[in-house]
Amino acid sequence: MEKRKELIVSAIENGTVIDHIPADKVYQVVKILGLDKATHPVYLGINVESKKYGTKGFIKASDKFFAPEDVNKIALVAPTASIIEIKGFEVVNKMTVQIPEKIEKIVKCFNPNCVTNKEHDIPTKFRVKYVDGKLRLVCHYCEKYTSEENIEFI
């Protein structure tokens, strides 16, 4: 049993494993990181047993390494995710995700009258702000706040 588990997380020679993704958020993470357009093999695990979270998802992207600012984009959907970089079958780096100060292009503005929802092809931009301890995305254009429960990914 132990052996099989090890095989799941370390089967790529070089690349990145994104582990501890909430089980229902794997596809969103794939999209945010642009892995749906990847040319190298990408393996997905959904509803995998997790001691810590009950179930989890993971992604293994061969020959793919991410800049921290790209990885942090997934923090909004998968705040529990851990990023494991692998070279020559060895774990060379492990990190957790952090919500970045700016979120661009991945979230829709909640305000239907925002210019990003009214005109075509305007990429969204938000500043992350905490109001009374709660996360809010402040739209760069309309300056309205999108709260965590209203976040919709593009």
CB 31 within 8 A of CB 107: no
Task: Name the segment binding another protein (CB under 8 A); options: 2-10, 33-41, 61-69, 111-119.
Answer: 111-119
CA dist 112 and 37 (Å) reads 29
Tokens of 24: 């229902």
Which region among 11-19, 60-68, 79-87, 107-115 touches another protein (by CB under 8 A)? 107-115
Q: Considering the rule CB under 8 A, would residue 65 count as an interface residue with another protein?
A: no
> Is residue 102 near another protein by the rule CB under 8 A?
no
Q: Based on the shown chain and the rule CB under 8 A, indicate whether residue 146 belongs to the binding site for another protein.
A: no
- Is 142 among the residues that bind another protein (CB under 8 A)? yes
Cβ–Cβ < 8 Å for 42, 107: no
Q: 1 to each of 46, 52, 56, 91, how far by Cα in Å?
A: 18, 17, 17, 21
Q: Select from 26, 116, 126, 146 the one that contacts another protein (CB under 8 A).
A: 116
Burial class from Cβ neighbours inside 10 Å (0-12, 13-18, 19+) for residue 98 reads: exposed
Among 29, 111, 126, 146, binds another protein (CB under 8 A): 111
HSE, CB side, 13 Å, CA atoms: give it for residue 118: 7
Span near another protein by CB under 8 A; candidates 11-19, 40-48, 58-66, 105-113: 105-113
- State which residue, 49 or 119, has the beta carbon closest to another protein: 119
Q: Which stretch binds another protein (CB under 8 A): 37-45, 48-56, 82-90, 143-151?
A: 143-151
Distance, CA of 9 to CA of 58 (rounded, Å): 9
Q: Is 140 in the site for another protein (CB under 8 A)?
A: yes
What would the two tokens of residue 106 be? 């991945």
Residues lying near another protein in the complex (CB under 8 A) = 109, 111, 113-116, 118-120, 122, 131-132, 136, 139-145
